[in-house]
Amino acid sequence: YTAHVSAQSIHATRDNAARALGVPPTAVRFIAPDVGGGFGAKNFIYPEQVLIPWAAKRIGRPLKWIAARGEVFVADHQGRDHQAEAQLALDAEGGFLALRISSVANLGAYLEGSAGGVQTFQYAFLPGTVYRIPAIELNVAAVFTNTAPIGVLRGPGYGEAVNIMERLVDAAARQCGFDRAELRRINMPVQTAMPVTNAFGNRIDSGAFPETLDRALAAADVAGFAARRRDSETRGLLRGLGLAYHIKATGGSPSENVDVRFEADGTVSLITGTQTIGQGHETTFPQILADRLGLPNDMIRLAQGDTDLIPLGGGHGSSRATYMGGTAIWRAADIIIEKGRRIAAEALEAAEADIRFEDGRFVVAGTDRTVDLLHVARIARETGDPLDTYYAWTREWMTFPNGAHVVEVEIDRETGEVILAHYTAVDDYGVVVNPMIAAGQAHGAIAQGIGQALLERATYDPRSGQVLAGSFMDYPLPRADDLLPFDLTFNPTRCTTNPLGVKGCGEAGMVGAFPAVTSAILDALTPLGITQIVGPATAYCVWRAIKSAPAKAT
């Protein structure tokens, strides 16, 4: 069986398909070319990925199947749909004492591939997010309903937890008379206290939370907000300032595999078990290997997305690619260097202990005698013991990208329209391997989080249960004119659990954007006595809240 599939995790998808087809995994080849976006919905197998190969083999002809957009709205996995009641206990100085959350999480009509893990395990991983909270009680009732299955969506579980926590902190500041930023700051562990372990036993290795928060506040010119609010009021608009501090765990599937091969033509083939879904692995992975081996980037040939090229792989999800795939590449390079050191010692007639590896060459310490890596690779190939290295890495820890997002919105009180005025984010993704790619990931994730806050919702007819969206004509994705330029900067602290020092960046922006935008909307509406809103905050939703508000702004 051979199939071209749009999937994030082709090895897991292949294994599941093989089980359904009653054949060993080696009898199934899945190829994922340019997948495009995945966002979690393509992490797990769908029935058609079994049925189409089965039918093609049965009739002896190639088959092609593409889901129509209307089918996607009905059958693809969806995200969020989480309702929660939460309580936060504070002492007189604002220190957090305890957190209690009771949630009802929709699973949909049947389980998708994560089998409720999003609503339970991942949601429970960081319920207190970045804050010191000694006691946490979390109760989740996961329920089946008539909707499409609910599961993985960019930042699954963590987005829900951060939204709840940030809403609680804003409410506590408002009700108890604390400054919102200061209340966050005094409950964050400082950088010198790292690593810290939360109430559920999960270890956060690094971070500079108060410093990152302060940088975001300064970059957003929070001190000048009052003047900007007055200016908005002169134009008949409400203005709000939103603040959210986000964090999530990254790593996903705990193992990753790479295969590095030195070819006869002088190039190096790099085969990875994780494949791109638009994040630019074609740039990042060769860059990591080239930097470690001292080779030009254009000598590295990346191959990915084919189960016949490499037997195992963790796929892509949970912002894991650079952390998991990059670490596997780095450690494979270490093995290559050690293999090469022995061969170089023989070629240079020196003791192995005297051989250093510098900028792609093996050097005899204290001399000018050197041999380059590719020459060593040629010797190794000719002697029948090539430098080719297959490496499988299993992580021990997760990583924790985090950051502070500050948002300003204006609201037209006559129509309820929410207008983004400013968006500032300072994020800690650990060491940033490629700043342009990381910024692109942040842009896309923030845009998606804004869409979640203001626009997107799977709507079902309350009488028939029929999903009402059939195309993008009646489902609102965020467009360029819904957004604005984002002010993005990094405040990296090196992750201590991997040699690259990376943390991941693919989902963090979405986890931070949704609560930050919601916080800004509620801050704008607070003078009207509105302290809660059920998203998405569409113009009609906000207009209805304003019209039913207990107070009128002056």
pLDDT in tens, 389-407: 999 999 999 999 999 999 9
Q: How far is CA 425 from CA 244, 405, 508, in A?
A: 10, 4, 11
SS3 per residue for 438-480: HHHHHHHHHHHHHHHHHCCCCCECCCCCCECCCCCCCCCCCCH
φ/ψ of residue 8, rounded to 5 = -85, -30
Nearest CA-CA partner of 54 in 107, 120, 10, 3: 3
The string of pLDDT tens digits covering residues 209-224 is 999 999 999 999 999 9
Same domain, 543 and 407: yes
pLDDT band (50, 70, 90) for residue 535: confident
Same domain, 215 and 317: no
In a domain? residue 229 = yes
Nearest CA-CA partner of 13 in 53, 42, 51, 34: 42
Same domain, 412 and 452: yes
SS3 per residue for 319-351: CCHHHHHHHHHHHHHHHHHHHHHHHHHHHHCCC
Last residue of a domain, one of 42, 66, 90: 66
The residue-averaged pLDDT of 410-431 equals 98
- What is the distance between the alpha carbons of residues 209 and 525, in angstroms, rounded to a whole number? 28
Same domain, 542 and 480: yes
Nearest CA-CA partner of 385 in 352, 340, 353, 350: 340
**H or E element, residue 371:** strand 370-372
Is residue 60 classed exposed, middle or buried when 0-12, 13-18 and 19+ CB atoms within 10 A define those classes?
exposed
- pLDDT of 553 over the 70 cut: no
Q: How far is CA 534 from CA 284, 452, 544, in A?
A: 39, 12, 11
What is the tally of helices (H) and strands (E) in the chain? 13, 20
Last residue of a domain, one of 377, 394, 411: 394
For the chain, what percent of residues have pLDDT higher than 70? 99
Same domain, 358 and 376: yes
Across 27-31, 74-78, 176-180, 285-289, least confident range:
74-78
Q: What is the CATH number of the domain that holds 354?
A: 3.30.365.10
pLDDT band (50, 70, 90) for residue 35: confident
Same domain, 224 and 269: no
Same domain, 376 and 238: no
Residues in contact with 394: Cβ distance below 8 Å, sequence separation at least 6, in sequence order: 254, 255
In a domain? residue 456 = yes
What one-character DSSP code corresponds to residue 492? -
In a domain? residue 220 = yes
The string of pLDDT tens digits covering residues 135-146 is 999 999 999 999
What pLDDT was estimated at residue 177?
97
- SS3 assignment, position 276: coil
What pLDDT was estimated at residue 33?
87
Same domain, 165 and 270: no
Last residue of a domain, one of 66, 97, 118: 66
Same domain, 197 and 315: no
The residue-averaged pLDDT of 316-335 equals 96
- pLDDT of 278 over the 90 cut: no
Of the segments 124-128, 275-279, 371-375, which one has the largest average pLDDT value?
371-375
What pLDDT was estimated at residue 551?
67
In a domain? residue 106 = no
Q: What is the pTM of this model?
A: 0.95
What pLDDT was estimated at residue 145?
96
What pLDDT was estimated at residue 554?
46
Q: How far is CA 18 from CA 22, 29, 41, 114, in A?
A: 6, 10, 20, 19
Find the domain containing 371 and state its range. 255-394
φ/ψ of residue 418, rounded to 5 = -100, 125
In a domain? residue 114 = no
In a domain? residue 84 = no
What pLDDT was estimated at residue 34?
84
Nearest CA-CA partner of 511 in 402, 434, 400: 402
In a domain? residue 552 = no
The residue-averaged pLDDT of 404-421 equals 98
Same domain, 244 and 327: no
- pLDDT of 536 over the 90 cut: yes
What pLDDT was estimated at residue 27?
98
What pLDDT was estimated at residue 552?
58
What pLDDT was estimated at residue 115?
85
Nearest CA-CA partner of 317 in 151, 122, 154: 154
CA 466 to chain centre: 31
Split into its structural domains, the chain has a count of 3
Q: Are 7 and 34 in contact (CB under 8 A)?
A: no
Same domain, 269 and 335: yes
Across 116-120, 178-182, 239-243, least confident range:
116-120
In a domain? residue 433 = yes
Same domain, 26 and 53: yes
The string of pLDDT tens digits covering residues 7-19 is 999 999 999 999 9
Q: Which long-range contacts (CB under 8 A, 24 or more apart) does 520-523 make?
A: 520/240, 520/241, 520/242, 520/407, 520/408, 520/409, 521/240, 521/242, 521/409, 521/411, 521/418, 521/453, 522/170, 522/240, 522/242, 523/170, 523/240, 523/241, 523/242
